[in-house]
Structure 1
């Protein structure tokens, strides 16, 4: 029988693409969903309700692997104290629930692979090239990622191989980051945010899904891996490249820092700051990125 992989966040942007890749590679896929969904020939859906601390245990007991993708969007809403709590708990609470079910049933897994983020290195643009050994930051994003990964460590304490995929901006057609920014660039109103010097670690959705697949099949992988192209892309470079793909040069002035801070509040650091990130560790596993050129990666998402 095919090995079963259970996804949290399986109905989201990354989850949908990853589901297709896993099925193409001979795995059976289960997905935890808040709403009732009909099973297909390829995917089995199970209910979960984090507000009620509920997960259908059959989904956990059936799984050979679990991939944890669920989490509230970082830049969907202003960071009120409640919103920050929701962002953190939407990442850690599912892991804690899964841990309790695994522990109660003495259930083991071949591996537990969890999303994480390069935000663990903090919102601070500087000359550092962050590796997986770079100390975590103490700002909101850094602390959130630390707590996220500590929850994963609880799974590891059960003797289960764990992998943490630290992701940056994910480029995909009509989804994720590009879904938010492309409309303004398409209309000719795209511009540079703040100084434009902030780094924007990015990865194409196809490469990210392949990294998750590699984390499943490569039993030597464990711990954190940066899942971003090391090309030192800045917001200015990203913005100018998008404008060029729509056949114009940016003509609007840079969006002022103080305006972004007023409009976005504390969340503005997510777009005004960013660090360079090394992909050396994942490449040392033999992984080869399909998309390393920013313009080619963006073009593939716009066609």
Structure 2
């Protein structure tokens, strides 16, 4: 069996490739960098450039499933030009995939797309499941909504569509954890604002196993990719400090300070989304790292 991945060289993509290879699945991947193209028996790269509508259609040969992970990181200062890049890096590749499948013969039956829990409105009290139709009024809410709308178009091609709304991914190789870990290690860590905002998180290994589970179970629709046990920012900060055995003595960092430092991107650490994993649990998926302390001990060696 062969699958196609966009974003295969990113943090999530690299881990997903490992899982797929463990199950003897061959991987084709699309990259905008010709320097990152390799050709192996089980791992072949193909060039594309969504900005110019270029794509090597040979990437589709023998493919039955597409994992769509491509998108510029949101963890970079949101200038007007970079906000445009964040949005276009999700919308344009999705449109190009659609047009390519529409205009070429293929065997694709299932597209599994990354999405984000940032679509859910900021709330201390709400618990969100996949039935919630509210959209956060922030830039992130807008991006995720437009991203998912593009992915939904694949149903017109009789392709099953799954959207995996990802929470805070815990990995030592990228994402939020190293940025939280560094100041705590140096004894200058602190929670943000009141610290009561909920952070729905997931261990990188659970995330890629969840993606694979969606494939083998042929699931359609929206699935939250979060641990069953969200924590507050206070709890997250204390848990990291406990694992690295460092004290927390500084007061919480006020919102206005982080807004000055990060600009509009400050919402990444102040938004509160308590998100339910019940739907994927009811499908039979089992988390290996459901509790935060177990996840952190596995990641922080």
TM-score, normalised via structure 2 length: 0.95
Q: 1:43 maps to which residue?
A: 43
Decide whether aligned partners of structure 1 residues 232 and 38 sit closer, same or farther in structure 2, where only a CA change above 3 A counts: closer
Between stretches 199-208 and 54-63, larger displacement belongs to: 54-63
Between stretches 273-282 and 135-144, larger displacement belongs to: 135-144
Q: 1:268 maps to which residue?
A: 266
Decide whether aligned partners of structure 1 residues 83 and 61 sit closer, same or farther in structure 2, where only a CA change above 3 A counts: same
TM-score, normalised via structure 1 length: 0.95
1:60/1:98 contact within 8 Å kept: no
Cα distance in 2 for residues equivalent to 1:86 and 1:136: 24
Cα distance in 2 for residues equivalent to 1:174 and 1:108: 34
1:174/1:301 contact within 8 Å kept: no
Q: 2:293 maps to which residue?
A: 295
Cα distance in 2 for residues equivalent to 1:68 and 1:18: 11
Q: CA deviation at 1:254?
A: 1.1
Q: 1:56 maps to which residue?
A: 56
1:82-108, Cα deviation, whole Å (9 max, x unpaired): 222111111111110010010011434
Alignment of 1:195-274 (within 5 A): 195-219=194-218, 221-274=219-272
1:25-51, Cα deviation, whole Å (9 max, x unpaired): 121001111223322343101111223
Q: 1:17 maps to which residue?
A: 15
1:223-257, Cα deviation, whole Å (9 max, x unpaired): 10001013230111010111111112211111111
Cα distance in 2 for residues equivalent to 1:210 and 1:38: 24
Match of 1:30 among 28, 31, 45: 28
2:201/2:230 contact within 8 Å kept: no
Cα distance in 2 for residues equivalent to 1:232 and 1:29: 33
Cα distance in 1 for residues equivalent to 2:188 and 2:105: 56
Cα distance in 2 for residues equivalent to 1:264 and 1:114: 28
Partner SS for 1:286? coil
Q: CA deviation at 1:215?
A: 1.1
Q: 1:130 maps to which residue?
A: 128
2:163/2:223 contact within 8 Å kept: yes
Match of 1:4 among 2, 25, 29: 2
Q: 2:66 maps to which residue?
A: 66
Cα distance in 2 for residues equivalent to 1:23 and 1:129: 36
Q: 2:120 maps to which residue?
A: 121
2:62/2:107 contact within 8 Å kept: no
